[in-house]
A and B are shown apart, each in its own frame.
Chain A
Amino acid sequence: IAGITQAPTSQILAAGRRMTLRCTQDMRHNAMYWYRQDLGLGLRLIHYSNTAGTTGKGEVPDGYSVSRANTDDFPLTLASAVPSQTSVYFCASSREVNNEQFFGPGTRLTVL
């Protein structure tokens, strides 16, 4: 692994299903983030983690949960997907909270 990876690349999901988006970084960055990107809108922060073992809510956290059991992994879970969660999801990391963020390749999620 070099940098930050996400899985799956894309997914079509039935409404009401549970889904976990995976994110892994090998840069030993302390901070990690989940964003969604929708056409015509800026990136919106869903959840973040300033360091392993801690998480916080961003601008649009409803319907999503995260965990940060270790430095490298930061999964995002949709407990019961709804069509409004159709979006491109980006995971990002930064060495510390005030440094530039590096982004994963994204997951394109469609909820039908």
Chain B
Amino acid sequence: GQNIDQPTEMTATEGAIVQINCTYQTSGFNGLFWYQQHAGEAPTFLSYNVLDGLEEKGRFSSFLSRSKGYSYLLLKELQMKDSASYLCAVMDSNYQLIWGAGTKLIIKP
């Protein structure tokens, strides 16, 4: 079966760095996406990885290792507004997104 695993909840301090991990087992691979979802709102696109390595976009970076079925989202200089759920999703061989349940990130002052 297809499976995406990520931690349910994480806590970090304002100004610090946090890494959210995601492991996956899917039928085929056409890229991995990270989305941010604030409570009561829609998911918004953060990053996309299809090749191994690190993609940096401002305070956010995303890493992919296809051989290990592993990705992480790195958030630097955390701000209170980063409190949200972070969703990992893998595009399978049918170009459909398989979603993890999301990691709720709590930022403390």
Q: How far is the CA of A101 from the CA of B89 in the complex (A)?
A: 11
> How many B residues are at the interface, by size bracket?
20 to 34
**Contact yes or no, A41 B48, CB < 8 A:** no
CB distance A42 to B42 under 8 Å? no
- Picked from A42, A45, A98, A106, the residue with its CB within 8 Å of the CB of B101 is A42
The docked-state distance in angstroms from the alpha carbon of A73 to that of B43 is 20
Distance between Cα atoms of A100 and B102 in the complex (Å): 17
Contact size range, A: 10 to 19
Bound state CA distance, A52 and B100, in angstroms?
28
Are the CB atoms of A42 and B99 closer together than 8 Å?
A: yes
Distance in Å: Cβ of A10 to nearest Cβ of chain B: 11
Binding site for B on A (CB under 8 A): 40-45, 48, 58, 90, 97-98, 100-106
Interface residues, chain B, with chain A CB atoms under 8 Å away: 4, 30-31, 33, 41-45, 48, 87, 89, 91, 95-102
